[in-house]
Structure 1
């Protein structure tokens, strides 16, 4: 789980980067800033007009002017209300627009990342980054920086007017402010730490829930419900505790602010009453100062909270930008198209490691002519699946070269290369949706007729029609309502539909019933016809007709040849073959 430590200082460069996403909406941003300044100017006007009304028009019994200035105050109040509504709407609209663009940018980045990134990053953590953290960035606009600037400008404007009106009364009224500053600082630090804990707890919760819902069958099969429930309770308890700590800080801080406001008002009345009696301060000034203090304390109550909101938005943005800045992706600087690819494959002394120099493939060197079938066998962990992963450039190799038709695969664009390599994996992934959508991967350019033609070509059309709804049968998430064999058959149609030049079959006939295996084997025969094929299989009987069989052991090629040639060697392949068929006596 990734934790984020508490930071004390705002990163201005990070804040600037957040606001670069607002550039397409700069007119709205500038308008919100203009409204900020305008509201700061208008806010102190109403108390001043009330002061003017009491001291001049009521005292002078100028009824006509009293009616006029009352109408002006009503108009000013309506204008301020409309402006505040528009300011709030505009800042939230701006935040949501930025969030929309940023979420698309992050998702586009994630789907292009190297698979190695996903090997070391929990999916739940990425979910948090894409949803929760990006949503927190919205608060930078709606409740963060712009709102803080608006409050600060209003506070400054009110203080300026108060000092102009009566600097002595202002100083008396603000004498409790040092206590407020100390209370605000303590509140800010307390809530800040709690919010960081909440963010980390949310990330841990998302990662835990995603992982355990995906693996719920394993949890239930090994009766691990109680153990995992206990772990979940612990993570959830930390989330609750962090939130309660934040709530406690709020519960203490706001009453303290109210007490300080009451003290300020009390001091102002005590001192101002004497001045009123001595005709040194007017009644209108006293009334106006009461309004000024209330207007001053209103943003001060929320300022510390808004600073925390801003900082949490920056923390979230730092996590999001960490993904955007990740260089753990496949370089797609190639320019060649794969049109007309014949499928000649060459592995030229290839070395590959998932981590540092811990090579899982060592000096792998072989070739396949167009239309040949290459079979790769070996014990679990020998590197079979890794070979097909690096051929597809899902990972980058450290040494050597991989060539197709004599061209380094790095010279092809990723989309061109992968469009010509069809893959059927042992664990077929199906998305929630219809069979048709899973076969086409929602590519609108592929028609229903093309799908049916591909299914008929490999003899699976009747099988699909047997499903309820046929091609419109709704597959549940990960294809849970279909058997392993059924999922593999659907993936065969998907592979054929894209008409690849190179076909990769990874354990395609493992763990299926006899009937499904017969269908799969017939589909395989159709698929590999006139295509360069790489077949990975534990069942050696399925690869006996391969043009070349490669025996891998601990990432190295131990033997290579035809089925008959390898049996004559009586080496690794002979031992594997003997182990599988010793019970039947067939060798």
Structure 2
């Protein structure tokens, strides 16, 4: 968690300027909002309930001096007198129930008030009681005494309105900056993850379903985005709110503020307990969603096989099992969230309110706290629980984001090789394997002491049964994997000493099942490499004999190609793949069973092009159709990872060995092949 949090902070630090400005805007917005209860307190205590403060006769006779005319005399409230201004007789305006009364003398003490029908006001405090003769005030008379306060009330209301507008403006700025910064952070993270994929070795993809990798780039990074947009905003907002409110509570009354402090350790314990259980559930959920994505991807890729072999029911059952496991953990997390969500926080808040009432009512504080202070305190307490509810409600997003970030960083931490951006001089193409041994799994060698040499311009064919090691030789040459023992050299230089990208810069490959990208035929030949001109693309297509075939399409070589080129025939896809390899003018050309899935006519076209294009290039051919490699300079026959025969077509046919048998079988002469096998056995 600490390491993940540190790395998330490092990503945020890249865009610290907008984040810091957003937090500054947030602080201003919180300050403007927290000023509201203070303004309300002043309005209540000073300008509304302040009418009960002592009033004195005064010589002032203007409204601007807050003087109020009553029965031919002017009166002014005590807090409106300036220093040294003379005061006359003290009078009071008091509220008893819903009625306001006039008392033309000071109060001896204050307490519980009761107004009798005959105009007597009784005040009781403990065992003491006092009775006064008072005069009831009508609405218009009461209004006269409130009138001097209207200007101040309007000013405070206007101030509050202005603060609301300011707070709204800063809130908008905070949210916009925070979300835009979060979008840029996630954009950077996705770019880093995608760049990391380019650096990973091929064996990583052998062991990881594509759907799981896609899930980390899309779903997991989106969950991390929630951390910056929702969780960060709520946690920072909540923290600033809570700190500001506690400070305001201490300003109001430190005794009441102390009463609320236990809520902070309660919130901390709450977060710790929640994360303990939620972490496990979220790990399982993210793992299941990755598996679901992987299965969906696999099902889409293999839909033809699924439907052809009527495996829809079994595939659906497998999916439902994963879906059921995912739903199970989702429901467990949902139960945890329901138990620890805002409902529980509301219970805690109500308990605090109950405790507050009991605390104030059962102590001497009730006689020392004004209505305005109590109103402001209750308002602040409500406001304090609101961000706490926000923090608690964001705990699921926090935990989900942390788990997702763990998965993203796990991918970023995979050992990869930086992509070289430079260029290397075109090498000659002299390839040499020296006592090469290789195993995909430790102790299970698929290549055993492979030694051969391919000189510049030569064509070397690799033949053998499935699993004999043909493709493994080319995987090592391309450095998709590295040898366990021995070495491979190109022009005398060990390939392990050459950056992989620069080594492959002058290699071309055509696979049995060519992969086409979404785009056009032309873009699939050039791969959008700016060094591959339009003329070069057209020339490559002409050289492989595909120009006329594609010119007949509605848009020619600009014909759209959808994913994997499924609208094109196998032969068309293979010709595009072949033209792609040739367009890059490789020094080493590799054909991995490139003619296995195409028709005889297309194969003849490619064979004709190869006669010209293989000149000056070292060409490796893996072929099951032995008729396509009769002109190879060297044919290597492999069996269980070893070279059992080598030579030209004529030399190998003369040996009457394994190559001879394979050739005769393909030519439809099983009897001759069997005779050759018997001769081989007798020779042994």
**Cα distance change of structure 1 residues 112 and 586 upon mapping to structure 2, 3 Å threshold:** farther
Of residues 427, 432, 440 in structure 2, which corresponds to 1:354?
440
Distance, in Å, in 2 between the alignment partners of 1:508 and 1:333 is: 28
Task: State the Cα distance separating 1:372 from its structure 2 match.
Answer: 0.8
2:518 corresponding residue in structure 1:
432
1:304 aligns with 2:294: no
For residues 555 and 670 of structure 2, the distance between their equivalents in structure 1, rounded to whole angstroms, comes to: 42
The match for 1:72 is: 159
Contact 2:431 2:489 in 1 (8 A): yes
Contact 1:552–1:558 (CA under 8 A) maintained in structure 2: yes
Which residue of the partner structure matches residue 516 of structure 1? 602
Task: Specify the alignment match of 1:27 in structure 2.
Answer: 17
Match of 1:528 among 609, 614, 629: 614
Aligned to 1:90: 177
| Structural RMSD (CA) | 2.7
Cα deviation per residue 1:237-273 (whole Å; 9 max; x = unaligned)? 2333333333444444322322332343344345546
Residue in 2 aligned with 1:265? Answer: 353
Q: Distance in 2 between matches of 1:278 and 1:391?
A: 88
1:101 offset after TM fit, Å? 0.8
Contact 1:124 1:207 in 2 (8 A): yes
Sort the Cα spacing of 1:146 and 1:15 in 2 relative to 1 into closer, same or farther, 3 A.
farther
Separation of aligned partners in 2, 1:124 and 1:424: 25
Q: Give the match's secondary structure for 2:645.
A: strand
Deviation at 1:347?
A: 1.0
Deviation at 1:382, TM superposition (A): 0.8
Deviation per CA, 1:426-456: give whole Å up to 9, x if none: 1111112211111111223333222212222
Change in Cα spacing, 1:534 to 1:400, as seen in structure 2 (3 Å) is same
Structure 1 SS opposite 2:441: coil
Q: Which has the higher strand share?
A: 2
Q: Secondary structure of 2:480's partner?
A: coil
Q: Could you say which residue in structure 2 is the equivalent of 1:240?
A: 327
**Could you state the TM-score of these two structures normalised by the residue count of structure 2?**
0.78
- 2:429 pairs with 1:343: yes
Deviation at 1:39, TM superposition (A): 4.5
- Choose which of 218, 221, 228 in structure 2 pairs with 1:134: 221
Deviates more, 1:242-251 or 1:23-32: 242-251
Say if 2:108 is the partner of 1:108. no
Gaps in structure 1 of 5+ consecutive residues: 1-10
Q: Bigger CA drift: 29-38 or 414-423?
A: 29-38
In the alignment, which of 651, 657, 667 is matched to residue 571 of structure 1?
Answer: 657
What is the correspondence of 1:274-313 to structure 2 with a 5 Å cutoff? 279-313=367-401
1:156 to 219, 229, 243: 243
The answer as to whether partners of 1:338 and 1:416 remain within 8 angstroms in 2 is yes
Distance across 1 between alignment mates of 2:151 and 2:424: 86
> TM-score, normalised to structure 1's length?
0.91
Segments of structure 2 that go 5 or more residues without pairing to the other structure are 51-145, 674-684
Where 1:321 maps in the other structure, the secondary structure is: helix
Q: 1:182 to 1:392 in 2, by over 3 A?
A: closer
Q: Alpha carbons of 1:315 and 1:440: their partners in 2 closer, same or farther (altered >3 Å)?
A: same
Structure with bigger RCO (C-alpha 8 Å, 6+ apart): 1
Pair 1:361–1:498, CA change in 2 (3 A): same
Task: State how many pairs are aligned.
Answer: 575
Structure with larger Rg = 2
Deviation at 1:188, TM superposition (A): 5.1
Contact 1:346 1:402 in 2 (8 A): yes
Give the direction of change, closer, same or farther, for the CA distance of 1:190–1:401 in structure 2 (3 Å limit): closer
| 2:34 pairs with 1:44 | yes
Partner secondary structure for residue 430 of structure 1: coil
SS at match of 1:546: coil
Q: Which residue of 1 aligns with 2:123?
A: none
Q: Show the counterpart of 2:676.
A: none
- Asked if structure 1 preserves the Cα contact closer than 8 Å seen for 2:489 and 2:495, the reply is yes
